[in-house]
Structure 1
Amino acid sequence: MKNKFMKVYEEIAAQIQQGILMAGSLLPSENELTAHYKTSRETIRKALNLLSEEGYIHKVQGKGSIVLDVKRFDFPISGLTSFKEVTQKMGQRAKTHVVLLERKIPESYIKEQLKLDETELVWDLTRVREIDGERIILDKDYLTEKVVPFITEEICRHSIYEYLEGELGLSISFAKKVITVEEPTEEDKRHLDLTGFQNMVVVKNYVYLDDASLFQYTESRHRPDKFRFVDFARRK
């Protein structure tokens, strides 16, 4: 039998996902929710805390709980931000599935992107990103073996950058990004929920260490309805 606060959480979360509770609006107060659900204030607080942790609401001191836009997710154009960092407040709403991890001689296109010679190997990694039960991103990563000699599926499910920086002691410095709109490939259609969508937003990343050596090429293929690509610019 579910705890009362989980029932409250699930009902409010469903109303946010369905748009009954609109993004930017305020939830009813704790007192109003207590009366509506005929439960204790502590139960309501537990439900609100979980909604906040899972990225459905943002609690503002003295104002209340603001409903967040769960239909779209902000990805920064500038900077290097991992999927885990973008979705860290979503808890179980966000999942990563590793569908391919192998060390191989890269095809000519990848050799060209990473400026590799004929003998160098790469890690070929494909991950599917799922949010709220929908598979909406296909991440295709290629990492040079000379920089990343060892990696596991568990590391790839968790966070590659945490591993590279924390365990291998690498200093990831900067990336060049190219954003295009393309038709879905057969691979996109096979792995993602694309019914009704004829285009993908593709972000190509060329990632460098602080010694300016290129070690990673990524194609992050996004279903277009779920993301906003955001940046901050200042005129000089």
Structure 2
Amino acid sequence: MNKFYEIYLDLEKAILNQTYHAGTLLPSENDLAKVYHVSRETIRKALVLLLENGYIQKKQGKGSIVLNVNRFDFPVSGLTSFKELHDSQNLKSETIVTKNCIEKISKKLANHLKISQETEIIYVERQRKFNQEVVILDKDYLLTSIIPELPAEAAQNSIYDYIEHTLGLTISFAQKEITVDPATKKDHELMDLNGDTHVVVVRSDVYLEDTTLFQHTESRHRLDRFRFVEFARRRSPM
């Protein structure tokens, strides 16, 4: 591993562990070079990686300012359950299930999914709590023709784990839409928005391996706590 990358990882860890707090300055290039026993050029390469990954902002005459990274990364194109994300990023969170019931699908959602308005769905509503604040409100709509029931334990822990390992179904792909919407009355009631007027909303239509639609999700996020990430590679023009 290149020395500058090792230094980048070490500084990244220090920022995430809040050894260096948001708004404070990293030590100067000279000081870091002495600490790590490397050249300033090696330190500069490590700082460039921190800059590109959103950990610091360079300010002329001041140095490297640590940015607020108390956010959670949500992959845009991936199909990952909250529990899987929770485990992979070691998030300290609490899930509160506020609803888990069978009801008729709404006219608006039936039209969106192009299915009958007589369709029954399981509606699951869950608050995601971090540091004593509810910053996500998840709404899941499961077609009862595919998922006849959802035990309370599955709603609390992982719907996808229940579908794949208990029901033996294979979840394959989703079509996603990400928007910034005005916060609703329910958002204000069930989330700690701290005066925010808008939320980030991720809507997904989710399909099984045989292309059967089984779920629509609506995940509503507080603006200041999340960043949505994706890897993009430029393709050469034809």
Residue 133 to residue 90, structure 1, CA distance change in 2 (3 Å): farther
Percent of pairs with identical residues: 43
Residue 73 to residue 129, structure 1, CA distance change in 2 (3 Å): same
Unpaired stretches in structure 1, ≥5 consecutive residues: 1-14, 27-68
> Residue in 2 aligned with 1:198?
197
One-letter code aligned to 2:207: Y
> Residue in 2 aligned with 1:145?
144
How far does the alpha carbon of each residue in 1:31-57 deviate from its partner, in whole angstroms, 9 at most, with x for none?
Answer: xxxxxxxxxxxxxxxxxxxxxxxxxxx
How far does the alpha carbon of each residue in 1:173-219 deviate from its partner, in whole angstroms, 9 at most, with x for none?
Answer: 11111011111000000000012211100011111111111111111
Shift of 1:101: 0.9
Per the normalisation by structure 2, the TM-score is 0.69
> Residue in 1 aligned with 2:221?
222
After superposition, residues 17-166 of structure 1 pair within 5 angstroms as 21-22=20-21, 71-88=70-87, 93-166=92-165
One-letter code aligned to 1:136: V
Q: Is the 8 A contact 1:105 1:120 kept in 2?
A: yes
Per the normalisation by structure 1, the TM-score is 0.70
Q: Take 1:92 and 1:235, find their aligned partners in 2: how far apart are those partners?
A: 32
Q: Take 2:151 and 2:85, find their aligned partners in 1: how far apart are those partners?
A: 22
How far does the alpha carbon of each residue in 1:32-86 deviate from its partner, in whole angstroms, 9 at most, with x for none?
Answer: xxxxxxxxxxxxxxxxxxxxxxxxxxxxxxxxxxxxx761000000110111111
> Residue in 1 aligned with 2:172?
173
Number of residue-to-residue matches in the alignment: 181
- RMSD across aligned C-alpha pairs, in angstroms? 2.7
One-letter code aligned to 1:195: N
Three-state SS of the structure 2 residue aligned to 1:109 is helix
Q: Take 2:199 and 2:170, find their aligned partners in 1: how far apart are those partners?
A: 31
Shift of 1:92: 7.7
Shift of 1:88: 1.3
Q: Is the 8 A contact 2:178 2:202 kept in 1?
A: yes
- 4+ long deviations beyond 4 Å: 89-92
